Protein backbone atom coordinates (compact mmCIF):
# COMPACT_ATOMS: atom_id res chain seq x y z
CA UNK A 1 0.00 0.00 0.00
CA UNK A 2 1.19 3.52 -0.79
CA UNK A 3 2.03 5.61 2.25
CA UNK A 4 1.58 9.36 2.41
CA UNK A 5 2.71 11.66 5.21
CA UNK A 6 0.19 14.47 5.65
CA UNK A 7 -0.11 17.70 7.63
CA UNK A 8 -2.27 20.81 7.70
CA UNK A 9 -2.15 24.30 9.17
CA UNK A 10 -5.41 25.99 10.09
CA UNK A 11 -7.03 29.24 11.20
CA UNK A 12 -7.76 27.79 14.64
CA UNK A 13 -8.43 24.63 16.55
CA UNK A 14 -12.06 23.74 15.92
CA UNK A 15 -13.59 23.10 12.48
CA UNK A 16 -17.06 22.94 14.06
CA UNK A 17 -16.57 26.62 14.97
CA UNK A 18 -15.93 27.52 11.34
CA UNK A 19 -12.13 27.30 11.28
CA UNK A 20 -10.55 26.36 7.97
CA UNK A 21 -7.39 24.91 6.45
CA UNK A 22 -4.78 27.44 5.28
CA UNK A 23 -2.04 25.00 4.22
CA UNK A 24 -2.08 21.34 3.28
CA UNK A 25 0.91 19.17 2.42
CA UNK A 26 1.37 15.50 1.61
CA UNK A 27 4.50 13.62 0.57
CA UNK A 28 4.69 10.09 -0.77
CA UNK A 29 6.85 7.34 0.67
CA UNK A 30 8.12 4.35 -1.27
CA UNK A 31 9.62 1.66 0.91
CA UNK A 32 11.81 3.55 3.37
CA UNK A 33 12.39 6.64 1.24
CA UNK A 34 10.59 9.86 0.34
CA UNK A 35 9.74 10.01 -3.36
CA UNK A 36 9.68 13.10 -5.57
CA UNK A 37 5.86 13.12 -5.56
CA UNK A 38 4.25 15.62 -3.22
CA UNK A 39 1.12 17.74 -2.88
CA UNK A 40 1.29 21.21 -1.36
CA UNK A 41 -0.96 24.28 -1.37
CA UNK A 42 -1.48 27.45 0.63
CA UNK A 43 -5.20 28.24 0.78
CA UNK A 44 -7.44 31.25 1.21
CA UNK A 45 -9.51 30.33 4.30
CA UNK A 46 -12.17 32.96 3.54
CA UNK A 47 -12.05 34.10 7.19
CA UNK A 48 -9.73 35.63 9.77
CA UNK A 49 -6.92 33.62 11.37
CA UNK A 50 -6.96 33.42 15.15
CA UNK A 51 -4.08 35.26 16.81
CA UNK A 52 -2.98 32.10 18.62
CA UNK A 53 -2.83 30.14 15.37
CA UNK A 54 -0.99 32.96 13.59
CA UNK A 55 1.70 32.90 16.29
CA UNK A 56 2.25 29.20 15.57
CA UNK A 57 2.46 29.24 11.76
CA UNK A 58 2.98 32.93 11.00
CA UNK A 59 0.10 33.42 8.54
CA UNK A 60 -2.72 35.97 8.54
CA UNK A 61 -5.73 36.16 6.26
CA UNK A 62 -4.24 39.18 4.47
CA UNK A 63 -1.25 37.04 3.49
CA UNK A 64 -3.52 34.35 2.05
CA UNK A 65 -6.19 36.37 0.24
CA UNK A 66 -6.40 35.45 -3.41
CA UNK A 67 -4.84 32.01 -2.97
CA UNK A 68 -6.66 28.92 -4.16
CA UNK A 69 -9.60 27.82 -2.04
CA UNK A 70 -9.99 24.25 -0.81
CA UNK A 71 -12.72 23.73 -3.41
CA UNK A 72 -10.17 24.47 -6.13
CA UNK A 73 -7.74 21.76 -5.02
CA UNK A 74 -10.12 19.15 -3.58
CA UNK A 75 -10.23 16.94 -6.67
CA UNK A 76 -6.43 16.85 -7.12
CA UNK A 77 -5.94 16.22 -3.39
CA UNK A 78 -8.36 13.29 -3.39
CA UNK A 79 -6.62 11.85 -6.44
CA UNK A 80 -3.21 12.16 -4.78
CA UNK A 81 -4.21 10.37 -1.55
CA UNK A 82 -6.50 7.80 -3.18
CA UNK A 83 -5.81 4.29 -1.86
CA UNK A 84 -2.92 5.38 0.35
CA UNK A 85 -2.33 4.89 4.05
CA UNK A 86 -2.05 8.31 5.67
CA UNK A 87 0.65 8.95 8.28
CA UNK A 88 -0.33 11.90 10.47
CA UNK A 89 0.84 13.28 13.80
CA UNK A 90 -2.29 13.83 15.91
CA UNK A 91 -4.48 12.41 13.15
CA UNK A 92 -7.90 13.34 14.63
CA UNK A 93 -7.03 17.04 14.29
CA UNK A 94 -6.01 16.97 10.61
CA UNK A 95 -8.63 14.41 9.58
CA UNK A 96 -11.30 16.48 11.33
CA UNK A 97 -10.37 19.55 9.31
CA UNK A 98 -10.04 17.71 6.00
CA UNK A 99 -13.38 15.94 6.41
CA UNK A 100 -14.99 19.25 7.43
CA UNK A 101 -13.73 20.86 4.22
CA UNK A 102 -15.04 17.91 2.19
CA UNK A 103 -18.39 18.13 3.96
CA UNK A 104 -18.70 21.81 3.01
CA UNK A 105 -18.34 20.70 -0.62
CA UNK A 106 -20.91 17.93 -0.26
CA UNK A 107 -18.22 15.26 -0.60
CA UNK A 108 -17.86 12.10 1.51
CA UNK A 109 -15.28 11.85 4.27
CA UNK A 110 -11.95 10.17 3.60
CA UNK A 111 -11.94 6.42 4.19
CA UNK A 112 -8.17 5.91 3.98
CA UNK A 113 -6.31 3.86 6.54
CA UNK A 114 -4.64 6.23 8.99
CA UNK A 115 -1.55 5.80 11.17
CA UNK A 116 -1.44 8.28 14.06
CA UNK A 117 2.22 8.72 14.97
CA UNK A 118 1.30 10.65 18.12
CA UNK A 119 -0.67 7.68 19.43
CA UNK A 120 2.21 5.33 18.60
CA UNK A 121 4.75 7.65 20.22
CA UNK A 122 2.71 7.78 23.42
CA UNK A 123 2.67 3.99 23.54
CA UNK A 124 6.41 3.78 22.88
CA UNK A 125 7.41 6.64 25.20
CA UNK A 126 4.80 6.86 27.97
CA UNK A 127 5.08 9.84 30.28
CA UNK A 128 7.35 11.75 27.89
CA UNK A 129 6.72 14.68 25.55
CA UNK A 130 5.75 13.37 22.13
CA UNK A 131 5.33 16.52 20.07
CA UNK A 132 7.02 16.56 16.67
CA UNK A 133 9.84 18.71 18.07
CA UNK A 134 10.29 16.36 21.03
CA UNK A 135 10.47 13.32 18.75
CA UNK A 136 12.97 15.05 16.48
CA UNK A 137 15.16 15.62 19.53
CA UNK A 138 14.71 12.05 20.76
CA UNK A 139 15.64 10.54 17.39
CA UNK A 140 18.38 13.10 16.64
CA UNK A 141 16.61 14.58 13.61
CA UNK A 142 17.75 18.11 12.75
CA UNK A 143 14.81 20.50 13.11
CA UNK A 144 16.78 23.67 13.86
CA UNK A 145 15.26 25.29 10.73
CA UNK A 146 11.75 24.88 12.18
CA UNK A 147 11.15 28.26 13.83
CA UNK A 148 7.45 28.20 12.87
CA UNK A 149 5.07 25.37 12.03
CA UNK A 150 4.63 24.71 8.33
CA UNK A 151 2.77 21.80 6.74
CA UNK A 152 5.35 20.93 4.09
CA UNK A 153 8.34 21.15 6.44
CA UNK A 154 6.45 19.19 9.09
CA UNK A 155 5.64 16.35 6.68
CA UNK A 156 9.34 16.07 5.83
CA UNK A 157 10.30 15.96 9.52
CA UNK A 158 7.48 13.52 10.31
CA UNK A 159 8.68 11.19 7.56
CA UNK A 160 12.08 11.04 9.25
CA UNK A 161 10.43 10.48 12.64
CA UNK A 162 8.28 7.70 11.16
CA UNK A 163 11.36 5.96 9.73
CA UNK A 164 13.09 6.21 13.11
CA UNK A 165 10.06 4.98 15.06
CA UNK A 166 9.48 2.01 12.81
CA UNK A 167 13.04 0.96 12.01
CA UNK A 168 13.29 -2.81 12.03
CA UNK A 169 9.53 -3.26 12.30
CA UNK A 170 8.87 -3.97 8.63
CA UNK A 171 11.68 -6.34 7.83
CA UNK A 172 15.11 -7.40 8.99
CA UNK A 173 16.70 -5.67 6.00
CA UNK A 174 15.34 -2.29 7.09
CA UNK A 175 12.89 -1.53 4.28
CA UNK A 176 9.65 -2.72 2.76
CA UNK A 177 11.18 -4.24 -0.36
CA UNK A 178 10.25 -7.86 -0.97
CA UNK A 179 13.03 -10.36 -0.41
CA UNK A 180 13.68 -12.79 -3.24
CA UNK A 181 13.38 -16.33 -1.95
CA UNK A 182 15.52 -19.03 -3.54
CA UNK A 183 15.71 -22.73 -2.72
CA UNK A 184 18.38 -23.58 -0.20
CA UNK A 185 21.12 -25.85 -1.58
CA UNK A 186 23.02 -27.99 0.92
CA UNK A 187 26.30 -29.68 0.07
CA UNK A 188 27.26 -31.91 2.97
CA UNK A 189 30.50 -32.97 1.26
CA UNK A 190 31.91 -29.48 0.78
CA UNK A 191 34.45 -28.14 3.24
CA UNK A 192 33.13 -25.36 5.40
CA UNK A 193 34.92 -22.07 4.95
CA UNK A 194 36.33 -20.58 8.10
CA UNK A 195 34.03 -17.94 9.56
CA UNK A 196 35.45 -14.73 10.96
CA UNK A 197 33.61 -13.77 14.15
CA UNK A 198 33.56 -10.09 15.13
CA UNK A 199 32.67 -9.34 18.73
CA UNK A 200 30.43 -6.29 19.31
CA UNK A 201 31.77 -3.30 21.19
CA UNK A 202 30.19 -2.07 24.42
CA UNK A 203 28.58 0.83 22.52
CA UNK A 204 27.12 -1.58 19.96
CA UNK A 205 25.76 -3.83 22.71
CA UNK A 206 24.15 -0.82 24.41
CA UNK A 207 22.59 0.34 21.13
CA UNK A 208 21.31 -3.20 20.53
CA UNK A 209 19.71 -3.27 23.99
CA UNK A 210 17.98 0.08 23.36
CA UNK A 211 16.72 -1.17 20.00
CA UNK A 212 15.23 -4.27 21.63
CA UNK A 213 13.63 -2.09 24.30
CA UNK A 214 11.98 0.07 21.63
CA UNK A 215 10.73 -3.01 19.77
CA UNK A 216 9.44 -4.53 23.02
CA UNK A 217 7.52 -1.36 23.88
CA UNK A 218 6.09 -1.03 20.37
CA UNK A 219 4.97 -4.67 20.39
CA UNK A 220 3.63 -4.44 23.97
CA UNK A 221 5.99 -7.06 25.36
CA UNK A 222 5.98 -9.41 22.36
CA UNK A 223 9.62 -8.96 21.36
CA UNK A 224 10.91 -12.48 20.66
CA UNK A 225 14.56 -11.52 21.07
CA UNK A 226 14.02 -10.33 24.65
CA UNK A 227 12.09 -13.52 25.42
CA UNK A 228 14.94 -15.66 24.12
CA UNK A 229 17.55 -13.62 25.99
CA UNK A 230 15.64 -14.12 29.25
CA UNK A 231 15.32 -17.88 28.71
- Rounded to two decimals, the pTM is 0.72
Q: By percentage, how much of the chain surpasses pLDDT 70?
A: 77
Domains of the chain: 3-165 (3.30.420.10), 200-231 (no CATH)
What backbone phi and psi angles, to 5 degrees, belong to 140? 55, 45
Q: What is the pLDDT of residues 30-84, one digit of tens each?
A: 988 999 999 999 999 999 999 999 998 999 999 999 999 999 999 999 999 999 9
How much is the average pLDDT of 202-224? 70
Q: Which residues pair with residue 86 across a beta bridge?
A: 4, 114
Q: Which residues pair with residue 4 across a beta bridge?
A: 28, 86
Q: Which residues of 178-216 are buried (b: 16+ CB within 10 A; e: fewer)?
A: eeeeeeeeeeeeeeeeeeeeeeeeeeeeeeeeeebebbb
Cite the active site residues.
Answer: 149
* pLDDT (0 to 100) of residue 226: 63
How close are the terminal C-alpha atoms of the chain, in Å?
A: 37
Q: What is the pLDDT of residues 98-109, one digit of tens each?
A: 999 999 999 999
Amino acid sequence: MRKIVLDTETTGLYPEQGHRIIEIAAIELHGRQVTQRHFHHYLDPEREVDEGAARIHGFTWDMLRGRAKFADIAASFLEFVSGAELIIHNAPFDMGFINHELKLLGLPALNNEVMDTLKIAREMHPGKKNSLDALCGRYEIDNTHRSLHGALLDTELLAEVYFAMTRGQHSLIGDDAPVARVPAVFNTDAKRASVRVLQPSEDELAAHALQLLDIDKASKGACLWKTLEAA
